[in-house]
Structure 1
Amino acid sequence: MRKLAAGVAAGLIVLAAATGCGGDPAPSSTRDTPGAAAPPAVRTTVAQGDLPDACALLSLEEAGALLGKAVKPPQPALDVIGADEAGCDWQKADEDNFRLALIQFSVYRSERYLPRDAYKPGEIIGDVTIAGAPGTAFLTRSGKTTVGVNYAVKGRRVTIDVTVDDGDPTARVDAITKTAALVATRL
């Protein structure tokens, strides 16, 4: 289901870029309002039982370091399963070509979402240890350009997928596992 949503989201992004749609979103926070105080870079606490604002769990700088290039402000991800998922997407800032580079980040209300057996055997690269996340964690690969991590922390499932537009996505594995550990401290 996530891969279908990712494909749909990627297609919509490419379609919007090709047709010139999009533009600046309407102001949605003080960050978009001239003269207003800037919000904190990241939210570090989450009320028990609530899903976090996934877009607030990483700063622009942290997302850029993960992708390996500057990113645009984050956008809420396509809502696939409703209230049980909080997702966010960061796209590369450079729009000089139609090659997609993005981060897809999701926090699920329960570990039961997207477990290891939801993946085909060829999509699992191997197990990995995520500091601060004592549950199972594994690396995934989708196609030639996307690599990700899937792990459980504090009763939730977290997935971080990075699609690169240049080179081998497995070169981002260290950055992905470090980011996963950082996110684990913020949940």
Structure 2
Amino acid sequence: MTESRINQQKTATTVLNQSIELRVTGQPDVENKSGSGHVRPSEVTIRYQTAGMRAHVCGRWVRPDGELTDEPRSQSYTARQGDTSNWPEWLVTLAAQYAPSAAHAREDVDAMAAEIRRLRTELADMRATVLNEVADELDGIDFHPNAKSPNGELCRLLAGRFRRQAAAVSAARP
């Protein structure tokens, strides 16, 4: 691949995941899936990924008799394709509340629109350049002075026409 082609290639960036960490209070306890009792949530990390979501709930262990301990516990949840059916309802609500907004999609659309405007401007500039180059070539044709041909006048007329089109293209640039 030539150097100029490498420089013409565009880069792209796609967000693969975003995460948010939240301090929570007053949320209902979650089941301790790795043992007895419950986990009283104090922190939640939610990771939004292209294939779904993951949540990690951290807190303190609550014994089966209801006694709150200082022992840390955590519980993980996975939602493939948005299936949060095994998540606590309050966690589903938090995940929806803090989900990445459509602003990123809007930024992508705005970036694409800006790129289209740039390309249209570049194309208009290239068209004007080509029209002017053709006009210069037509003006540069040297017909023999003794030739009885209307070609010289035709070339000058065409050159003038191309220059006017080039000026119109430049004036109408996006």
Q: TM tier, shorter chain?
A: under 0.3
- TM (norm. structure 1) is 0.21
Greater relative CO (CA pairs within 8 A, separation 6+): 1
The structure that has the greater radius of gyration is 2
Give the TM-score, by structure 2 length. 0.22
More helix by share: 2
